[in-house]
Structure 1
Amino acid sequence: MSKLLCDIYRSPREQEMYLYVQKQEGLARVPDKLQELFGDPVHVTTLILTPERTLARAEAETVIKQLQEQGFYLQMPPVVDDEMRAIAAQNSKLSHG
């Protein structure tokens, strides 16, 4: 695997949902249905992806592989974090009640 120049977009509809695409291809290979669900993409950053690169919630090798094979990588919001926040909120209500 080599280096890959990648654009990252965030969804205006879903908090913490990101779409990674190869810079030179842009959104050309992203299916219309996904673009419709994702909303009007908001450009976050451009970066050089290498297998060794550390990403917050994805393995760089997985992202590179999906970019090469399907033309995009969709990073979904962390469901567990939302559940944990709800539990934490419930716990704080119980302990302060």
Structure 2
Amino acid sequence: MKQICSIYKSSRKNEMYLYVLRSDGLKRVPEPLLNAFGTATLAFELVLTPERSLAREDIHKVLENLSEQGYHLQMPPPEDEYIEHLPEELLRRNDPV
């Protein structure tokens, strides 16, 4: 199954994205979610297939959510993931003396 997907970025939360079917746009996204998401700015469009891989999402879950509810919300990574990638010396500089 091939789906053409529009991906919007949130104005309220860095690295939060909303996947919707291009044919539906944002009309199937619940109003409370749109309000919490903020201004939805089109980031890019993709053709999604079960064989395609995505950097931070399970393609099968994305396709399932698009089919069943009309959207998929990609949450930002937990902040501690950012800290894991900082060099050790930066982490030590902030330790209390």
TM-score above 0.5: yes
Deviation at 1:94, TM superposition (A): 5.0
Deviation at 1:86, TM superposition (A): 4.2
Deviation at 1:91, TM superposition (A): 1.9
Give the total of aligned pairs: 93
Structure 1 partner of 2:80: 83
Structure 2 gaps, min length 5: none
Secondary structure of the 1:65 match is helix
| Aligned-pair Cα RMSD in Å | 2.0
* Structure-2 separation of matches of 1:28 and 1:62: 20
Structure 1 partner of 2:9: 10
Structure 2 partner of 1:51: 50
* Structure-2 separation of matches of 1:73 and 1:50: 15
* Structure-2 separation of matches of 1:5 and 1:85: 31
Residues 32-51 of structure 1 aligned to structure 2 (within 5 Å) = 32-51=31-50
Q: TM-score, normalised by structure 1?
A: 0.86
Structure 2 partner of 1:61: 60
Q: Deviations over 1:15-72 (max 9, x none)?
A: 0000000000000110000000000101011110001111111011110110000000
* Structure-1 separation of matches of 2:63 and 2:93: 43
Deviation at 1:85, TM superposition (A): 3.2
Paired-residue identity, %: 42
